[in-house]
Structure 1
Amino acid sequence: MIEFKLEGDFIPLIQLLKATGLVHTGGEAQIVVTEGEVKYNGQVDYRKRLKVKRGDEVEFRSQKIVVV
């Protein structure tokens, strides 16, 4: 599990995937989101500009990110 400390009100999903090192580029992040590889709070979510906030959980390739 990865615990990500949020410094503002939200972080876009694509930036979160990059910031945690689960993808290398923004382009790669966009691809995995549009292909349905990312779960947001337990549901597959295809929104690239999704605003992830404190208390949210994101899952990608057996990794769970908890935003605090």
Structure 2
Amino acid sequence: MAKQRKKFSPEFKDEAVKMVLEGSRPIAQVAREIQVNEGTLGSWVSRYRQTHADEEPPLTISERARQGTGKRSP
């Protein structure tokens, strides 16, 4: 039997993204709290950042590290 996928409202997604961006909390932590897959929430945050790139200042290194979105430098 196939597993049915959950559908989330745009409002739920917006609030989840705000929890990550405004609360400066890691995606993994917020995902656990709202019971959403970490990859799913990461996609929502990434999509938000892409569509609002001109509105937000770039993340600092510590912010990227906290959110797990930065690449490590050599």
Tell me whether the two structures share a fold, i.e. TM-score over 0.5: no
Relative to the length of structure 1, the TM-score reads 0.32
Q: Point out which structure has higher relative CO (alpha carbons under 8 A, 6+ apart).
A: 1
| Structure with greater proportional helix content | 2
Of the two, which has the highest radius of gyration? 2
